[in-house]
């Protein structure tokens, strides 16, 4: 990986793209620590220290790079955009218009992207209003005696809401700039940046609070999980496809052999994000009424990650979302029809419905293995870290080294390196003649 980056910096145009990407990331990190007008920064830092890195605070701190708990300008980060993208993908199955746009190619995708932007701003407005309302009522940090706002007037609340919503729009623009003029997928790199930004501080907290022995065990467990993720993320099932020869005018076309690559983890990290989000919704709802019976029940059963009910729900949600997401992103019927249209067939399988059934059979088997793999990656670190830090159910360690964070870090890292390698091959291709 280091060799790839070194070679990329020796290539002038790639070096410009990498420096541009790093500059955008630097701007993004500045906005993640810049406080929103009306926020009492010392009080917020005191409340963050009291909240620690457990439960919902650990997850919010992880996916916002510490920006949300600090009530920064980029407090919402990329979360509204992720939510909007997921909603649009789910609506593809329900609304025929969106399905038709998805099949129109570049123009249809541009329209879907515009819908995603509008929905992102709407969600950002809703989420920022919720955060500011909780902060005004003193419920954002319920166990903190400090007032995190200088005043709770409606004018201050409106300024904070507008600032956070505008910050989400700027983050979305920065991500698109990276995609268009930089290296890699902009939104993915911003998520990667938010997670990686929390790693040094968490490493230091583990070493100071638990000592070098536990620190070494945490690093060892994290390396094992990373190796497993890299191995599975690179694995794929290749279905051979043969194209028959056909005459077009006076020229002969076809006769080539290729394959359909089906990844073991076809759904990526989306099912884990879905499951984590749904499991934290009850905790967020319980923040509004902590003294009720249902609020106490949720805190008892869903705060600790090692509770059997939590583990069962988490496992089932990951498996269910994995099958659901794969079913809406990979359609065996469309693949079979396209192959038949261009004279392609799987050796030994009839074209048409038989090919569709074969692809669905293989996809279901692969998705079963991929869903179980995702669930194990998400749950095993939590159970392992419970042994290292049983006081909070291993939740503080799991937030950094758990399935979601490591899947995102490894997945985005692999995709970025692969894109850099492909661009290097295009620029350094020598051909047969030298």
pLDDT in tens, 271-307: 877 777 677 667 666 666 666 676 667 666 665 556 6
Query: Within 13 Å of residue 349, how many CA atoms lie on the same side as its CB?
Result: 22
End-to-end CA distance of the chain: 28
pLDDT over 80 (residue 173): yes
Please give the Cα distance from 343 to 336 (Å, whole number): 11
Contacts of 291 (CB under 8 A, 6+ apart): none
The larger pLDDT score, comparing residue 245 to residue 271, is at: 271
What is the arithmetic mean of pLDDT over 403-413? 77
Alpha carbons 119 and 132: distance in angstroms, whole number: 20
Mean pLDDT of 392-396: 48
- CA of 328: how far to CAs of 105, 143, 310, 314, 365, in Å? 17, 42, 27, 21, 16
Instruction: Look at residue 158 in the predicted model and tell me its pLDDT.
Output: 92
Mean pLDDT of the 190-200 span: 80
Structure tokens at 131: 């955060």
Which of 170, 185, 140, 160 is closest to 30 using CA atoms? Answer: 170
What distance in Å separates the CA atoms of residue 404 and residue 378, rounded to the nearest whole number?
7
Question: In this model, does residue 434 exceed pLDDT 50?
Answer: no
Write down all domains in the chain, each with its CATH number in brackets: 1-182 (1.10.3370.10), 206-434 (1.10.3370.10)
Burial class (CB in 10 A: 0-12, 13-18, 19+), 214: middle
| Cα–Cα dist 263/119, whole Å | 30
Please name which of 290, 362, 282 lies closest in space to residue 317, comparing C-alpha atoms. 282
What pLDDT score was predicted for residue 215?
77
């Amino acid at each position: 990986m280091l060799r790839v980056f070194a070679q990329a910096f020796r290539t002038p145009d790639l070096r410009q793209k990498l420096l541009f990407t790093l500059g955008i990331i630097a701007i993004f990190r500045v906005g993640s620590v810049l406080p929103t007008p009306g926020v009492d920064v010392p009080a917020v830092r005191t409340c963050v220290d009291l909240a620690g890195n457990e439960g919902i605070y650990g997850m919010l701190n992880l996916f916002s790079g510490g920006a949300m708990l600090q009530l920064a300008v980029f407090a919402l980060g990329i979360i509204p955009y992720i939510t909007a993208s997921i909603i649009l993908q789910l609506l593809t199955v329900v609304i025929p218009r969106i399905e038709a746009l998805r099949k129109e190619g570049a123009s249809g995708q541009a329209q879907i992207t515009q819908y995603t932007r509008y929905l992102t701003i709407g969600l950002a407005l809703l989420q920022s209003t919720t955060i500011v309302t909780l902060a005004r009522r003193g419920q954002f940090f319920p166990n903190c005696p400090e007032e995190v706002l200088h005043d709770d007037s409606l004018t201050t609340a409106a300024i904070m809401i507008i600032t956070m919503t505008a910050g989400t729009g700027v983050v979305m623009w920065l991500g698109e700039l990276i995609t268009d003029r930089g290296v890699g997928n902009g939104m993915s790199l911003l998520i990667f940046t938010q997670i990686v930004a929390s790693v040094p501080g968490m490493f230091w907290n583990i070493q100071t609070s638990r000592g070098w022995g536990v620190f070494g065990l945490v690093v060892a467990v994290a390396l094992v999980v990373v190796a497993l993720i890299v191995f599975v993320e690179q694995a794929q099932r290749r279905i051979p496809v043969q194209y028959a020869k056909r005459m077009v005018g006076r020229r002969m076309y076809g006769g080539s052999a290729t394959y359909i690559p089906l990844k073991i983890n076809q759904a990526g990290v989306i099912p884990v994000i879905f499951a984590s989000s749904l499991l934290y919704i009850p905790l967020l709802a319980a923040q509004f009424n902590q003294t009720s019976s249902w609020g106490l029940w949720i805190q008892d059963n869903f705060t600790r990650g090692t509770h059997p009910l939590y583990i069962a729900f988490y496992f089932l949600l990951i498996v269910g979302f994995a099958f659901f997401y794969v079913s809406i992103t990979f359609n065996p019927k469309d693949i079979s029809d396209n192959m038949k249209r261009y004279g392609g067939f799987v050796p030994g399988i009839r074209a048409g419905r038989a090919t569709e059934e074969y692809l669905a059979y293989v996809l279901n088997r692969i998705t079963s293995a991929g869903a179980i793999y995702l669930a194990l990656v998400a749950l095993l670190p939590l159970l392992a870290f419970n042994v290292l830090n049983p006081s909070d159910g291993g939740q503080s360690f799991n937030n950094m080294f758990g399935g979601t964070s490591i899947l995102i870090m490894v997945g985005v890292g692999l995709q970025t390196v692969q894109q850099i390698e492909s661009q290097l091959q295009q620029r350094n291709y020598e051909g047969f003649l030298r």
